[in-house]
Structure 1
């Protein structure tokens, strides 16, 4: 099961965050500017309407003074108010005395006519203003002050005397106290239209900023989702790559033209190509031209599983492999290429060969034990008769020589039988602490006479540092002696053989190297088979016993040899202190 990727930590996209912050800042600025514009427009409206109202009031007062100078009746005030109220911008004009009596009125009267601030208007030193509404719910800006056609600074005393009399005409007031207030209501339609237009523009700008802000939030959301998706894909890619690279088998993907699109490290290891790049190259560049059946099977469009075949490595070595091939398809089922699984069968084949060799050796051991038992008893009798005839032929030199030859041949045959018995019934190793340097020196001393007899020089490569490990020293000595015997036989007189050992990580390595005639590939494959030998006097059991002993020690043997270049045999043992002999 593929693990769920961790959700990445929240990190905002800088462009989106900048856009959002800019929209918020612009919205704040727009709100402040709109509020200030509306406030400024309201002040301008009030100033303008106040001045216009005062102008109308002064005009009505001037008209009233004219009528007073002409001695006209106060009824002319109503006519003056009515005419003035006919202006489009004038909603109404009221002249009210201090007792609330309406002396003159024209226009659409306000809904709050019963609550007019007459007393405040008469007593106030400056005009009063307020916003009110008509019965039709229309907004009106009202300007109010005391109605005084004479004026406070009037120099004509006669005009001041006429005012109370004129004011009292027609029941407009009494002469003792003729104080009145005038109310002028002015429409604010144009100003409200302008304000609504400003608000509309501000709302449009706010909507635009809202769209930009929403776009920023959406972009931020998409950015976060994209980041999560990208991180998820990266985690999936990393996980898939780790799975592919950790596979014990080689994995190769091909396109529809048979070109390599990818391969893991194990595939490179199997075919021996570590550094070279194969992406885009044909499969033959990796598996060897004409030396692998993969190409022909792929051309047939087959899908197969664990098909055994041999391919060629970069070094020229033939590699036994098992190959599985299947088609790669897209979502619609259309073919995209192929995927190959390549399993290296070298170790398995070596194990199979070792198992088969063990079976053969077991069978040979059982047969050898039977033969040795049947042969050894008659050999003792033959040797006894040969010695008897030798004692009886003191005067016959030829008979004595033949008797000695018979004894020698019987002894040689007995040694072969002893080797057969050792091979068929090997003794268990008796583990003890072994000093590698002492093991090499003792073996060299045991082989001094044989080396001198064959006029071959033996050189010992001692380990740099003392090396101790657990093994059977007698069996290892026999291994080294057998290897050295094969070495000096293959070496010409005056040649050299090297015996050495060292510790390498967790392994103990022993080697015997000669510079003699070497071996061909067929000889290397059969050198450990029982009874296989290239020497007339050999039994073919020496190397078989060597392999048997090393397998008992849970080790292995590696051989490098070529005709005319000599042979290097390495024995590799584990460096553990003891072994499980089960």
Structure 2
């Protein structure tokens, strides 16, 4: 009798748990589907039925590959999970073409296992991020318009100065053509100002274009040594001593050699210009597991390669640090103010981050973070 009461009690609990689970699934805004290891649909909640245009419970027991024939990316994703369950925790984004409007879904999957570790089902959560992506697009468009206004204003300012100098010399030319020394000054100034405009246009084109990157596993050690070699004569003439240190266990990274070298050159040139009376520059490369500052959610299994450029120059004020990577930002009399903006663009397009720490009179320290390809020597 007691055993029967116990079984009835357990049955009530099971039925209660079943109703609770059904209620929970029904009220979820995210879609949820599960399939057995044969690829047959086991569970689908109302949100998933609506997202995938399926009729819910009527589809249970059917093969998912048949049900999702009209959504190839999601069908392929689920079939890959069946063939390789170890990929279950991977996150994927899908574009679902609809007659009225395309839909963007974010999928996360996990495995349901029995007590001995046998996989019973693959459970997939579907989150509709269509509106979020629309908002992101509108924000990017707003940012582009604001950036375009900044670029236009900055370019007008930067071009106006050399054009004013050229205009002045051209206006004075008829009156001072015979004056001793005028032509010499004319020949020095006008080409120099034209070169300044040309450099500005070249840097603007570099900043605005989207070059085709050729990523491959690179030798960071060799890249840094080759870049420093280009500056050796300049460093010597400015009485700047350089120090290079490499972690013997640096991770490997994938990069575009030409673009990343350009970023290194800009940082070394920036350091040289910050030390007109001489000084020291340190360049260090190593591997770290911690994520970049301000990117606490970006920890990676393989960690990061860091390349540090540190100098003993005049430093940067806290106010200027906020805008140091903006186009046309510069505290120097020479240059276009686009070098650091180009550097930032290159690093971001490598999936990396760049951080700067500086105080007036104490030098600057730029740290590049690049995603490590794997552990081991670069």
TM-score by length of 2: 0.49
* Greater C-alpha Rg: 1
Q: What TM-score, normalized by structure 1, do the two folds share?
A: 0.33
